[in-house]
Structure 1
Amino acid sequence: MNNTLKIIFATLSTIGTLTIIIGLWELAIKPLIITDNNSPDPTPTLSHSPTPTSSPTNPNSTVIPLGQRFSSGDRRLFTNQENPNADRGIEAFKAGNYEEAYQQFRQAVNTAPSDPEVQIYLNNSQARKSGNPFILAAVVPVDRKQTNALEMLRGVAQAQTQFNQQGINGRLLEIVIFNDSNDKNYAQQVAKKIINNNDILGVIGHNSSGASAEGLKEYEKAGIAMISPTSTSTSLSGNVFFRTVPSDAKAGQFLARYAIKNNMSRVAVFYTSTSNYSQSLKQAFVDGFQLLGSTTVLDMSVPNFNAQKTVEALQNQVDGFVIFPNTDNKIINFSLQVADANASLSKPKQLLGGDALYNPATLQLSKGGVNGLVLAVPWFAKPTYPYTDLAAKRWGGRVSWRTATSYDATKAFTKALSGNASRNSVFTKLQQSNLSISETSGEPLQFLKSGDRNTDPLLVRVIPKSSNFAEYDFQIIED
């Protein structure tokens, strides 16, 4: 409450919104867990080193030698995945026996159809057999955010599979998977490794905005294009930078506009100063809201933050609460406590939030306070999108937005390839990208001069799937 910003606000006519429920449709197959760019990863940290030590920039990260951080099919990066056929495929791949590797990886895919790593290795074996493959890098946080990494790679693998069905003049696509641990130091090391391999034509990744920023510094020097499917920070920009996800600037603006339309002229904004993502989204919201209302900004990372007492103290001063956590589990829990504290008020306020909460598994940790929470999200599995059903059939359930935007990033690269492809030609063609809805996860794909995708985020509302608030789904909100 010490950081109250009082701003004279103008009146704005209220425009109703039309809510179209789409999120309750059910697939005939078991859905995958939907997660998001910034959601906590329930998967335990993987150990790849017999004597783990800490990363210079992330004390919780296990040190993995740079030589063990990438693979086209000669090692498993997801080392907790057991698949004997994959192991045999790796041995054949290392020996240069790509026909045998192809046969083994094909059996591995049949054994584990939702594992994108073995699908990529299968595709790579096929590309090596054909000879002279195009090569792209995919940088994901294998050991620190395994769920994020797998979801991203599902999108990459599906687009690669589609391209390799035809290729260009007999040339197919090889994907080299790199693991940067979402760590700035490793992101820089991985980026240097990538640019030193002149055969790599472009980069899909990184996952977090912080890792993307470090990698981008290196890619700028080499003139190699990167497309991040998941990094949303407004601080990201550069001559070779593209992204297939809306930036925080648009997400914040959309939430601010929604707040004003729904008679919220005074709001409390909860964020964490320790996260570039959270700060970026908070600032975008405040900038979009400041001429129309007043904001009270609160930092959930301060010592002794108490959600219940803070919400109770603000209940007569605001019309709504806006929650922008980052990926940290402690901050996520604080955010859910804010929602639950609001629900306990005699007159609960409206709730808005960022896509870090776009995850049913995360929302289940709430005591019901997230019911009705409105989120700005990059993508939603609309049944009208052809890709929604296509991806669900391939991976065994409804996929997350991270898979969709990674699919789009890979599709953009494959459209930029040509018989004489070079880093420069790929970059030039990316600037001219114009993919139709039949070629993407649902929306046309064009890049602005800034590298941002020319698209808008979506607003969704959290709704319960059961009367006891044990499970949640989402419905899309359209103007």
Structure 2
Amino acid sequence: MYQDTNKKNSPPPIVFIIAIGLIGFGAYKFLPGLLKSQTSNTPTSTSTSATIAPGAIANRISLGNQILVTSQTTPDKQAGVEAFKNGDYSIAIQNFQASLKQNRNDPETIIYLNNATASNSSAVKIAVSVPIGSNPNVAQEILRGVAQAQDEINTSGGINGAKLQVEIVNDDNSQEVVKEVARTLTKDSSILAVIGHNASNASLEAAPIYQQEKLVMVTPTSFANNLSGFGSYIFRTVPNISLMAAPLAEYAVKTAAQTNIAVCYDSQAPDNISFKDEFVASLTAAGGKLAPTVCDFSLPSFNPESAIADAVSKGAQGLMVAPHIDRIDRAISLARINRGKLPLYGSTTLYTFQTLKDGQKDVDGLVLPVPWHPETNPGSRFPENARQRWGGIVNWRTATSFDATQAVIAGLRQSNTREGLQQALRNASFSTAGSSEDVKFLPTGDRAGKPILVQVKQGGSTGYNFVPLR
């Protein structure tokens, strides 16, 4: 979620804009840095349907030579990209700086500005792969964390004197595209690590390639159980999904006294399959039980009216929803039909502005776990630094992406080779400052950490907000 804090007479920072998918995914209305609003009842199976023509990968990768986030375009940014493409880095720098004066809430431009600044000096390079075409708002949430970490290290002297360059890649959360992205990045010996991918189905496609070719991957947002212990080059800056699901199940049974819970999940989203499985196991362990319903957001036949009627007829006292990141609209439609009859619980995926904006009173009271929240980190400078930089409050995806980049930076301080970086991150004593707690990795590659339960309550720019449960 992104909330602006600019003064009243400033131009509204959140406006509906058109983001053009690079390979024809169509246009989506969205808010910068927030998940797009989907209105179709047809599943947007971007995770499996996208294809890529031979050689087309070049149109998805940019160090500063092309604009990928087309919604965040200004004439100055376009001029900066042209100058960068021509090797006129001083002109590119001037244009990128001018663009940021018009729109500071543009992580792509900050990354390109840093890349241009580093082009005439020694530099180390990493990549970040995000779903710009299929989910531009989530992509920008991730890019903000990476951009903030890059800007901070470069303005403080770099990594052992070398500035950090970040290559941006648009993978659309598509399994086919992701595989080609991974193959391309592993073949580029100048790339020392990859921050990404977003959805677990994307990360699971890429991970075998990175592991085989020995290139570090640090995903800031993929929760699927299958990634835990996947390989020695695979890391993530979110906790294991069992740690995220257990507190939610325990809250439902022990605090809310709701022991019979129905579940609606997405069978095409590995992270939410994992969340569902861990939630049910924890629910049973806490003394609750699963209402015997069948509800799958990924099915073309998904019907919210039938799903709610079935859950009520089976005696459900609550409903846990776990949608794919690109099918949140279906979870909202379910909440709308529910109309508050069943208390709602959700997976971490649902922490988006779209949930609040489109859900409104129908998601009031929704409880879900997140790995980070700005209000629970009073001793950290990151939330305030982020607010000043972006003009608003950032969410957990930005924080965990910042942490992933911080981990890679700390590892590169020890060694600027792929193998040396991997060994640094795998070291049991590895630790570096993050957005809240220090970033440490377990032997499985998972982040050592604990979740925070939040609840939708009235307040905020949409009329509703995610508030930590005290």
* Pairwise TM-score range, normalised by the shorter structure: 0.7 to 0.9
Answering whether residue 103 of structure 2 is matched by residue 108 of structure 1, we say no
Using the alignment, how far apart are the partners of 2:304 and 2:160 within structure 1?
60
The Cα of 1:47 is off from its aligned counterpart by: 4.2
Note closer, same or farther for the CA distance 1:66–1:314 as it changes in structure 2 (3 Å cut).
closer
Question: What's the offset of the Cα at 1:231?
Answer: 0.9
Q: Does residue 383 of structure 2 align to residue 393 of structure 1?
A: no
Match of 2:455 in 1: 461
User: Which deviations, in whole Å up to 9, do the C-alpha atoms of 1:273-311 show, x marking residues without a partner?
Assistant: 232232121111011122322102432345654434543
Candidates 66, 73, 77, aligned match of 1:82: 73
1:334-353 alignment, distance < 5 Å: 334-343=330-339, 348-353=341-346
| 8 Å CA contact retained: 2:414, 2:424 | no
C-alpha distance in 2 between matches for 1:57 and 1:352: 25
1:167 matched residue in structure 2: 158
Q: Return the letter of the residue paired with 1:123.
A: N
Task: Report the AA paired with residue 206 of structure 2.
Answer: G
Counterpart position of 1:407: 402
Does structure 2 conserve the Cα–Cα contact (< 8 Å) formed by 1:231 and 1:243?
Answer: yes
**Kept after mapping to 2: 8 A contact 1:203/1:225:** yes
Aligned to 1:266: 260
SS in 2 for 1:299: coil
Partners in 2 of 1:192 and 1:324 — Cα distance?
31
Which residue pairs with 2:319 in the alignment? 321
Q: Kindly report the root-mean-square deviation, in angstroms, between the aligned alpha carbons of the 2 structures.
A: 3.0
Q: Relative contact order, CA 8 A, sep 6+: which one is greater?
A: 1
Counterpart residue type for residue 353 of structure 1? G
Contact conserved, 1:271 with 1:278, CA < 8 A, in 2?
yes
Partners of 2:373 and 2:250 lie apart in 1 by: 20
Larger helix proportion of the pair: 2
CA contact (8 A) 1:212 1:228 kept: yes
Aligned to 1:177: 168
2-side partners of 1:167 and 1:335: how far apart?
A: 43
Question: How does 1:39-54 map onto structure 2 within 5 Å?
Answer: 44=18, 46-48=20-22
1:47–1:477 Cα change, 3 Å = closer
Deviation at residue 141 of structure 1 after TM alignment: 1.2
After superposition, residues 129-144 of structure 1 pair within 5 angstroms as 129-130=120-121, 132-144=122-134
CA contact (8 A) 2:201 2:269 kept: no
CA separation of 1:234/1:104 partners in 2, compared to 1, >3 Å: closer, same or farther? same
The 3 A distance-change label for structure 1 pair 474 and 182 is same
SS of 2:263's partner is strand
Alignment of 1:278-317 (within 5 A): 278-291=272-285, 292-296=287-291, 297-301=293-297, 302=299, 304-315=301-312, 317=315
Q: Counterpart of 1:228?
A: 219
Q: Could you tell me how far 1:475 is from its partner in structure 2?
A: 1.5
Paired residues of 1:209 and 1:277 also in contact (CA < 8 A)? yes
Distance 1:113 1:324 in 2: 33
- Does the 8 A contact of 1:273 with 1:299 survive in 2? no
Do structure 1's residue 247 and structure 2's residue 240 form an aligned pair?
yes
In the aligned structure 2, how far is the partner of 1:476 from the partner of 1:257? 16
What is the aligned partner in structure 2 of residue 13 from structure 1? none
Residue 397 of structure 1: how far off its partner (Å): 0.6
Partner of 1:191: 182
**Shift in CA distance, 281/125, structure 1 to aligned 2, threshold 3 Å:** same
Q: 1:250 to 1:142 in 2, by over 3 A?
A: same
Residue of 135, 142, 157 corresponding to 1:152 = 142
- Give the residue type in structure 2 aligned to 1:186: V
Structure 2 CA distance for aligned equivalents of residues 364 and 26 of structure 1 = 15
Residues of 2 paired with 1:360 and 1:99: CA distance? 37
Tell me the SS of whatever aligns to 1:449: coil
How many aligned positions are there?
436
Counterpart selection for 1:440 from 422, 434, 439: 434
Q: Which amino acid aligns with 1:175?
A: V
- Tell me, what secondary structure is at the counterpart of 1:286? helix
Secondary structure of the equivalent of 1:366?
A: helix
Aligned residues: percent identity? 34
User: Please, which moves more after superposition, 253-262 or 59-68?
Assistant: 59-68
Q: Work out whether residues 308 and 337 of structure 1, in 8 Å CA contact, stay in contact via their aligned partners in 2.
A: no
1:40-77 deviations in Å (ceiling 9; x for gaps): xx87551436999x999744678681111111111111
User: Separation in 2 of the partners of 1:90 and 1:362?
Assistant: 34
Distance across 2 between alignment mates of 1:81 and 1:113: 10
Counterpart contact for 1:355–1:375, Cα < 8 Å:
yes
Counterparts of 2:290 and 2:17, CA distance in 1 = 36
Alpha-carbon spacing, 1:397–1:57, altered in 2? closer, same or farther (3 Å): closer
SS across alignment from 1:129: coil
- 2:60 maps to a residue whose letter is R
Q: Which runs of 5 or more residues in structure 1 are unaligned?
A: 1-22, 34-41
For residues 118-163 of structure 1, the C-alpha deviation after alignment (integer angstroms, 9 at most, x for no partner) is 1111101111122x31111111112111111111111111100111
Closer, same or farther in 2 for the Cα pair 1:29/1:298, shift >3 Å?
farther
Match of 1:12 in 2: none
C-alpha spacing 1:320/1:121, structure 2 compared with 1 (3 Å): same
2:371 is aligned with 1:373: no
Larger CA Rg, structure 1 vs 2: 1
Deviation at 1:376, TM superposition (A): 1.2
1:312/1:86 CA distance change after superposition, 3 Å? closer
Tell me the equivalent position of 1:275: 269
Normalised to the residue count of structure 2, the TM-score between the two structures is 0.84
- Name whichever of 258-267 and 452-461 sits farther off: 258-267
* Distance 1:343-1:101 versus aligned 2 partners, 3 A rule: closer
CA contact (8 A) 2:45 2:326 kept: no
Alignment match, 1:3: none
Which residue does 2:355 correspond to in 1? 362
2:281 partner SS: helix
Determine the C-alpha separation between the residues in 2 that align with 1:195 and 1:306: 43
Distance 1:83 1:250, change over 3 A: same
- Which residue of 456, 475, 478 corresponds with 2:467? 475
Structure 2: segments with no counterpart, 5+ residues: 27-43
